[in-house]
Amino acid sequence: MTGIRILQLAICLILACVCDPALGAEPNKTATGILFESNRDAQTWYGKGRSGLGRGPVAPTHAAVMHVWMPDVRSSRPLDLPKGDEGIRRMLKTPSGKSLSGQQREFLSTSDAMVWHSVGNMKDHDKIYLYAVNAADVKKMAQAFLEVGIDSAQAAMQGVKASLHSYEEKVAKIRKELPKTEAELKTVAAEYEKARKETHSPLSDAETVEESKKIILEMNTILDSLAIEINGIEAKLLAVEEIKAQKAAGSAEGLARLEDIMSEQAIELAGALARKKAAISIREREENFYSLYKRRISLAKQVGELKKELRNAESYQRDAEKWLADPEPNMLPPRVYQNKVAIHPARKK
């Protein structure tokens, strides 16, 4: 009788393995590098409701359980793994997600299919539960979950590499530009100081600039007055010429008087033109001086900004080099404890 009972149990075990390959197969390695291991212990269907149990019109038949490395959540660059409904949508875009059956896709749209639990007895790890309506889909769910993390890590790594290249180019450009700007600043500053000593020596920078602007305004006022004066003199000369033409046959005394007037006005005109030339020269001198002052200020500002940009770019470059040498969590592919995912039958509690 005992032998018959043992034989019956053996037949049942063989049939179970044939009917459900996931529960009877040996651990098998996947494209993501993980191993699937069968576990006959039924796994509770957990969910996001108040009871903590799964919700949905169709109960899952299988559950994939894994322990995923999740370092300190305070990290500025945490792991980017799928969570919640948005996580499911990201999983569906992966190669494994795209190969899910229609039944599984419907299950994902109506039922709880992914739950995260903290692990009290395992440092820096979370326990992930993934549910599906058949054995093949539950493995694809685990694959899709990890593919999201792998793609995100690769994107983050490429982003850092691209940033490093950008910062290296920026550092090189600034190091080339900065000496030229510093040299120009030195030249302009020397020219400004020379002009200041020649025309505004006892005054401070601020006083010099104010005096220069004041002189420019004064010269503009003088030139406006001279323009009026010159126009008046030229009008007088023209009038005298016309009178002379009209009295060409007049008395010698009268003509002599007109000649005297013309000579006087010609002298006045020469003086006004000389004053105009001097005023223009003074204004140009002060405008050039004020231009030197503004150029010196502008170049000094440029040098300061270039030095600041260089410090920042070098700092960012060092950070990128450090992250490539010692990657941040978000730059690393997901790490599953012992590289294993347990496949369980699923059950409602």
Q: What is the DSSP string of 112-143?
A: --EEEEE-TTSTTEEEEEEEESSHHHHHHHHH
| Under 8 Å between Cβ of 61 and 23 | no
The tokens describing 138, both together, are 């539950």
pTM, full prediction: 0.67
Which neighbouring-strand residues pair with 69? 125
Q: Could you tell me the fold of the domain covering 165-329? A: Helix Hairpins (1.10.287)
User: Residue 203's pLDDT band (boundaries 50, 70, 90)?
Assistant: confident
- Residue with token string 């493995």: 139
The number of beta carbons lying within 10 Å of the beta carbon of residue 90 is 22
Find the length of the chain. 349
Of 74-83, 215-224, 255-264, the range with the lowest mean pLDDT is 74-83
pLDDT greater than 90 at residue 50: no
Q: How far is CA 345 from the centre of its chain?
A: 48
In angstroms, what CA-CA distances link 105 with 47, 59, 158, 286? 17, 13, 31, 80
Which neighbouring-strand residues pair with 129? 65, 115
Determine the pLDDT at residue 282.
93
- Residue with token string 């694809």: 140
The tokens describing 93, both together, are 């875009």
Residue-range domain boundaries for the chain: 16-160+332-347, 165-329
Q: Which of 220, 221, 184, 214 is nearest to 199 (CA)?
A: 214
Determine the pLDDT at residue 258.
82
Determine the pLDDT at residue 144.
97
pLDDT greater than 60 at residue 16: no
Determine the pLDDT at residue 12.
37
How confident is the model over 58-68, as pLDDT tens digits? 999 999 999 99
| Under 8 Å between Cβ of 81 and 149 | yes
CA 65, 71, 75, 80 dihedral sign is negative
Q: How far is CA 78 from the centre of its chain?
A: 19
> Which residues have CB under 8 Å from 205's CB, separation 6+?
196, 293
Task: Average the pLDDT over 55-80 and give the result.
Answer: 84
What's the CA gap between 69 and 146, in Å, rounded?
A: 12
> Which residues have CB under 8 Å from 254's CB, separation 6+?
247
> Which residues have CB under 8 Å from 49's CB, separation 6+?
55, 112
How confident is the model over 26-42, as pLDDT tens digits? 445 455 678 999 999 99
DSSP 50: T
Task: Average the pLDDT over 31-57 and give the result.
Answer: 89
Residue with the bigger pLDDT between 234 and 3: it is: 234
How confident is the model over 298-317, as pLDDT tens digits? 999 999 999 999 999 999 99
Most confident range (mean pLDDT) of 28-37, 67-76, 173-182 is: 173-182
Residue with the bigger pLDDT between 92 and 204: it is: 92
Q: Which of 288, 296, 292, 290 is nearest to 182 (CA)?
A: 296
Determine the pLDDT at residue 86.
95
